[in-house]
Structure 1
Amino acid sequence: MAEPDSPQFKLAITVMSIAAGLMTVLVTGLLWAAARSGNPNDFLDTGKLLLTAILPVVSAWVGTILAFFYSKENYLAASQGTLDAVKAVSARLASRKLRDVMMPKASVIAVTLGPSGVLGDLMCAQVVAGFETLTPQQQRINRLLFLRADGSCAAVLHRSIWNEMLAQVYQAPGKSIDLKADPLSALIDQSQPGGTGPWSAFLSRTLAFVGEAGSLADAKAAMAAVPNCQDVIVTRSGIPTEPMLGWISNVDITRESQA
């Protein structure tokens, strides 16, 4: 609210006083003229007309003045409410330990890389089979993890990206792919639309890693630090070369934020 000694307060009071004075003079003059006419109906009609014309104006003035005086408080209250909500979510995520909410490695549907450890050496048929694998809830997965022989996570492939890579091949003149016989390199060695590098780099660089002692708040921060990241891999100390212990997705973080 504006301070009584502030220029804004004085200006508002001055404008309101002048407007109220002019309106009082106008209303008094019109009513006096109607009363002098000697016709009672003229007086009543004039009163009704003035009420109809002036009431909206007065209401608008009052609303404007109140909005002027209390806009700062309303803004501060809204900002504080937003800040409190953000703090509550942050506190909730910080209280949720990764061990309690992550999907353990034993429950993760993943494909293990071959002896070469190269993602492109896998066969497309292995990826197709991975996406066709049903969860215990009899649902097909939408994200497929790729693990190295030592148990560390090498990459993640979302079904939407898989479909986009396939569409890129099918739409290119003179190109084709045999999902039963061709290696995965036939897809992931393609350049991403816009010339931002091959798909293979995208699949391996959109993972974040955190230590198992951390919280969901740590997972969220790690995810935010990696462009296009929607998946966090939990290892013993958060080092990418360590065996994967569990997996957290952006869906998990969103669900826990709203719990």
Structure 2
Amino acid sequence: MSEPHGAVGAAGSATAAAAPGAGTDLNAAVRGKIARAVILSSGAILLMLALVIGYAARTAYFGAKDLATATDLIEKFVFALLPMIGTWVGTVLAFYFTNDSFQTASNQARLTFAETRDARLRQIPVQRAMMPVSSVRGIAADDAGWQGVNFKTGVLDFLASEKIGRLPVFSSSRDRLYGIVHDSVVKDFALRHGVRPTSADAAASAATLAEFLEDGEVSPRFRNSVGFVGPDATLADVKKAMDEVTARGYPCRDVFVTDTGTPNGRPIGMITNVDLEKWSSYG
């Protein structure tokens, strides 16, 4: 005897309603098992890493009899591993607590990385990381003499021959920095004025350093895209100086260390965004 259509419909609806719940419970159980396994294995890995770091530091100390060497080794291990661990834990938490918490977990992982990076930068003095100003390749000429420096040979060809991407301009005695420009700004000016770096034609070299640095597109970047810190600063101060200059409207990728920490001070050294990234990553 066949069942009434109403009974069949009710049973089908009940089965359909139960299926999603059962699937959700199964997914939650699977996530829980995977999360527990990953967390336990992460704990084991952390323990092994702690033992390895401790052994390496002990070997360094007894080998060199230098506590500073051992301490520096531990710092490098810790600051290299913490961002990785924070990201790993954030990913596990995102998986465990379902997609609704993924953004929160990701934000926490990024925050952990940022805090670790800033902590590392606060421990590194600028004088340890900077390039001495005597080694910085650039132009040394007082502004009164800029008319006598040819743009093509003194700027465009100079960057190409030295294989550098940024050009600081110092006073003739290098006791003051006037500003800095990057190769993209130089090439843009060359393009606008028909100066070709491969051309040997003297007629293409009429532009001067003064004309270049006083150009409406170049001058604001030249004078306003560099930061300054004092000799007692840390790389955290360098990062802050870069951020402050960038916030004023021009991307800052260079910071100079001066004896007064101001633009009018005597330059001591230079730190670029590339240096900052290198030291924040592994020192």
Place the TM-score, normalised by the shorter chain, in its bin: 0.5 to 0.7
Aligned partner of 1:26 in structure 2 is: 11
Query: Is residue 96–residue 215 contact of structure 1 (8 Å, CA) maintained in 2?
Result: yes
Aligned partner of 1:222 in structure 2 is: 241
- In structure 1, give the amino acid aligned to 2:154: Q
Query: Is residue 169–residue 187 contact of structure 1 (8 Å, CA) maintained in 2?
Result: no
Which structure shows the bigger proportion of residues in helix conformation? 2
Runs of at least 5 residues in structure 2 that lack an aligned partner in the other structure: 1-9, 32-93, 196-201
- In structure 2, give the amino acid aligned to 1:242: G
Of 69-78 and 200-209, deviating more is 69-78
1:103 equivalenced with 2:128 (yes/no) = no
Aligned partner of 1:79 in structure 2 is: 107
Residues 127/179 of structure 1: CA separation in 2 closer, same or farther (3 Å cut): farther
1:190 to 205, 215, 236: 215
Following superposition, the deviation at residue 191 of structure 1 comes to 3.0
Alignment of 1:105-254 (within 5 A): 105-114=133-142, 116=144, 119=146, 122-124=149-151, 125-134=153-162, 140-150=163-173, 151-170=175-194, 178=203, 180-192=205-217, 199-226=218-245, 227-254=250-277
Residues 181/104 of structure 1: CA separation in 2 closer, same or farther (3 Å cut): same
- In structure 1, give the amino acid aligned to 2:192: Q
Note the alpha carbon deviations across 1:24-82, whole angstroms, 9 max, x for none.
x72699xxxxxxxxxxxxxxxxxxxx79x975674257769x99x94676555443322
d(CA) in 1 for partners of 2:110, 2:220: 38
Query: Is residue 130–residue 144 contact of structure 1 (8 Å, CA) maintained in 2?
Result: no
RMSD: 3.7
d(CA) in 1 for partners of 2:181, 2:102: 46
Percent identity over paired residues? 24
Note the alpha carbon deviations across 1:78-126, whole angstroms, 9 max, x for none.
4332221111000011111111111111211011113626x56632122
What SS does the aligned partner of 1:106 have?
helix
d(CA) in 2 for partners of 1:179, 1:233: 33
- In structure 1, give the amino acid aligned to 2:212: L
Residues 76/250 of structure 1: CA separation in 2 closer, same or farther (3 Å cut): same
- In structure 2, give the amino acid aligned to 1:122: V
Query: Which structure has the larger Rg?
Result: 1
Runs of at least 5 residues in structure 1 that lack an aligned partner in the other structure: 1-24, 30-49, 135-139, 172-176, 193-198
- In structure 2, give the amino acid aligned to 1:59: G
Following superposition, the deviation at residue 182 of structure 1 comes to 3.2
d(CA) in 1 for partners of 2:224, 2:13: 78
